[in-house]
Amino acid sequence: MEGLVSSLFDVQSLPETYVLPPEIRPGELSFRPDESNNIPVLDLGGHDRNEIIQQIMKASQEFGFFQVINHGVSKELMDETMNVVKEFHAMPAKDKFLECSKDPNRNCKLYTSSEKYATEEVHYWRDCLMHSALSTEEYMQFWPANPTRYREVVGTYSNEVKQLGSRILKLISQGLKLSSGYFSGSLSTSPTILINHYPRCPEPSLTLGLPRHRDPSLITIILQDHVQGLQVFKDGEWITVEPLPHAFVVNIGYVLQIVSNDKLNGAEHRVVTNSSDARTTVSFFIYPSSESIIEPAKPLVSTCGDHPPLYRALKFKDFHINFLSKSADAEAVHDFISSKNI
Ligand SMILES: O=C(O)CCC(=O)C(=O)O
Ligand SMILES: [Fe+2]
């Protein structure tokens, strides 16, 4: 069993296995806000549906990221969820592992750095609790039973964020001129929750909480606390996603990029750490079922015209396995899914 980074909280210097090669170290970090290049903040409470759709499409094309406010999930539920997941990560390591080791299918698991901890060359400064976001007894029986409120609060949260995700995906389907239910079937039936915890880090310039990556999801909906850390790569620069109280961060995943045939972009992002505050986030990944086929939507491609399919059709599970094994190598992932490799 690997040690959790949260068990290293009092170390004075970064353990060797977390020191990144110089070319991918974040270096000295400054979180100066750049007013001209911020991730767009969209008000979902507005009444002009077409205007909201246009804003989502523009943000998804330009940044691959946006934040949403007035999204319908109550502030109380967001606060309660953040509190209960922080309580989970504050428990002693042995209790946390006990809570996460009951699932024979390992759908619910606790790990440090990445799922590839045992084989990766260098580790990242993150502990993660991952489990299905389907709040049925079949899955929930393996969620942590401690803190005692965990299942109730995270179950309610999952249901509400799933609904928010459906609403955003309907707006996106309309923006892409697809049928309004395009994403509501097998493309979105397997949501998964990742509860990320990035403890205070003795040397933030030498390591990362998460390396540069894209999400292998349709979309991801992130709840972050008040601590900065998430950065999006745009035009050769890392832009910090400002924590806004009670906003959600939404990002376009690789699957949506494929389905939209590159009309929408899944942006690369990473997480930096800091030496003064721990940071906790809840990532809600909207995933297809493993057997569903992911491919550019037929109405968006024409085989003889200007819009050839840029990606080949693949079962989601084949895409996902390949993605997880190669995620550090963006080019290799792209080659695997490109239509040029049919
Ligand atoms: O913790 C964050 O801010 C982002 C997490 C993330 O990128 C992920 O879970 O894929
Ligand atoms: Fe991510």
Q: What is the pLDDT of residues 257-276, one digit of tens each?
A: 999 999 999 989 999 999 99
Q: What is the pLDDT of residue 33?
A: 64
Ligand 1 atom nearest the C-alpha of 270 is 7
**Which ligand has an atom closest to residue 67 CA?**
1
Using pLDDT thresholds of 50, 70 and 90, give the confidence band for residue 92: very high
pLDDT category of residue 86 using cuts at 50, 70 and 90:
very high
Whole-number average pLDDT of the chain:
93
- Ligand 1 centre from 283 Cα, in Å? 6
**Proportion of the chain above pLDDT 70, given as a percent:** 96
What's the CA-to-centroid distance between 306 and ligand 1, angstroms?
35
Ligand 2 centre and the CA of 305: distance in Å?
A: 34
Structure tokens at 157: 């949260």
Q: Of 82, 221, 222, which is best to mutate to test ligand 1, by the most ligand atoms within 8 angstroms of its C-beta?
A: 222
Residue nearest atom 10 of ligand 1, based on CA coordinates = 215
pLDDT in tens, 211-262: 999 999 999 999 999 999 999 999 999 999 999 999 999 999 999 999 999 9
* Rounded distance between C-alpha atoms, residue 202 and residue 311, angstroms: 42
Q: What is the mean pLDDT of residues 156-178?
A: 98
Are 186 and 291 in contact, with CB atoms under 8 Å apart? yes
Secondary-structure percent of the chain, ordered helix, strand, coil, rounded to 5 = 35, 20, 45
Residue 305 is predicted with a pLDDT of: 78
Indicate whether 1 pLDDT > 60: no
How does pLDDT run across 300-338, given as a tens digit for each residue? 998 787 889 999 999 999 999 999 888 778 888 888 999
Using the predicted structure, report yes or no on whether residue 207 has a pLDDT greater than 80.
yes
Instruction: For residue 324, report the distance from its CA to the centre of ligand 2, in Å.
Output: 12
pLDDT score, position 340:
76
pLDDT of residue 303: 76
Nearest residue by C-alpha to atom 1 in ligand 1: 281
The segment with the largest mean pLDDT, out of 104-118, 146-160, 302-316, is 146-160
Query: Is it the case that residue 178 has pLDDT exceeding 90?
Result: yes
% of the chain beyond a pLDDT of 90? 78
Residue 213 Cα to ligand 2 midpoint, Å, equals 6
Q: Which pLDDT score, from 0 to 100, does residue 32 have?
A: 64
Domains of the chain with bracketed CATH: 42-289 (2.60.120.330)
Crossing angle of helices 150-175/49-62, nearest 10°?
90
**Residue 137 CA to ligand 2 centre (angstroms):** 27
What is the spatial distance between Cα 151 and Cα 260, in angstroms, rounded to a whole number?
35
pLDDT of residue 189 exceeding 90: yes
Ligand 1: residues with CB < 6 A are 194, 196, 210, 215, 222, 224, 229-230, 269, 271, 281, 283
Task: Read off the pLDDT of residues 28-55 as tens digits, 9 standing for 90 and up.
Answer: 877 666 666 789 999 999 889 999 999 9
Report how far Cα 172 is from the mean position of its chain's Cα atoms.
Answer: 18
Residue 9: pLDDT band (50, 70, 90) is low
Exposure class string for 141-153: b at 16+ Cβ within 10 A, else e: ebbbeebeebbeb
CA-nearest residue for atom 5, ligand 1, is: 283
Q: How far is the CA of 113 from the centre of ligand 1 (A)?
A: 12
User: Which atom of ligand 1 approaches the CA of 230 most closely?
Assistant: 3
Nearest CA to ligand 1 atom 4: 230
CB atoms within 10 A of CB 174: 18
Ligand 2 geometric centre to CA of 231 (Å): 10
Q: Is 298 left (phi over 0), alpha (psi -120 to 50) or beta?
A: alpha
**Ligand 2 being an ion, which residues bring their Cβ within 5 A of it?**
215
ipTM: 0.99
Atom of ligand 1 lying closest to residue 229 CA: 3
Report, as an integer, the average pLDDT of 122-145.
95
Ligand 1 nearest-atom number relative to CA 194: 9
Tell the residue nearest (CA) to atom 3 of ligand 1: 230
Ligand at shortest distance from the CA of 279: 1
Q: How many CB atoms lie within 10 A of CB 20?
A: 19
